[in-house]
Amino acid sequence: MHYKEVKGILSPRNGMNIYRGCTHGCIYCDSRSRCYNMSHDFEDIEVKSNALILLEEALKRKRKKCMIGTGAMSDPYIHLEEQLMHTRKALEIIDKYGFGLSIQTKSNRILRDLDLLKSINEKAKCVVQMTLTTYDEGTCKIIEPNVSSTKERFEVLKVMRDNKIPTVVWLDPILPFINDTEENLRGILDYCIEAKVYGILCFNMGLTLRAGNREYFYAKLDKHFPGLKEKYHKKYGYSYEIISDNNKALMDIFKYTCKENGIVFNVNEIFKYMHTFEAKEKVEQLSFF
CATH code for the domain of 16: 3.20.20.70
Please name the residue ranges forming H helices in 85-212: 86-96, 114-123, 137-143, 150-162, 182-195
Q: How far apart are CA 274 and CA 285, in angstroms?
A: 30
Residue 253 lies in a domain: yes
Residue 286 lies in a domain: no
Residue 188 lies in a domain: yes
Q: How far is CA 286 from the centre of its chain?
A: 42
In terms of C-beta density within 10 A (0-12 exposed, 13-18 middle, 19 or more buried), how is residue 282 classed? exposed
Q: The pTM is what?
A: 0.94
Task: Give 4's strand partners.
Answer: 48
Number of domains in the chain: 1
Q: How far apart are CA 70 and CA 98, in angstroms?
A: 16
Residue 150 lies in a domain: yes
Residue 149 lies in a domain: yes
Q: How far apart are CA 265 and CA 204, in angstroms?
A: 12
Q: What does the pLDDT read at residue 280? A: 78
Q: What does the pLDDT read at residue 289? A: 37
CB 67 within 8 A of CB 271: no
Q: What does the pLDDT read at residue 212? A: 95
Range of the domain at 130: 2-275
Q: What does the pLDDT read at residue 281? A: 64
Residue 282 lies in a domain: no
Cα–Cα distances (Å) from 57 to 23, 24, 93, in that order, read 29, 31, 10
Q: Is the dihedral of CA 47, 49, 54, 59 positive or negative?
A: positive
Q: What does the pLDDT read at residue 282? A: 53
Q: How far apart are CA 99 and CA 269, in angstroms?
A: 21
Q: What does the pLDDT read at residue 279? A: 86
Residue 36 lies in a domain: yes
One pLDDT digit (tens) per residue for the chain, 289 residues: 999 999 999 999 999 999 999 999 999 999 999 999 999 999 999 999 999 999 999 999 999 999 999 999 999 999 999 999 999 999 999 999 999 999 999 999 999 999 999 999 999 999 999 999 999 999 999 999 999 999 999 999 999 999 999 999 999 999 999 999 999 999 999 999 999 999 999 999 999 999 999 999 999 999 999 999 999 999 999 999 999 999 999 999 999 999 999 999 999 999 999 999 998 765 334 343 3
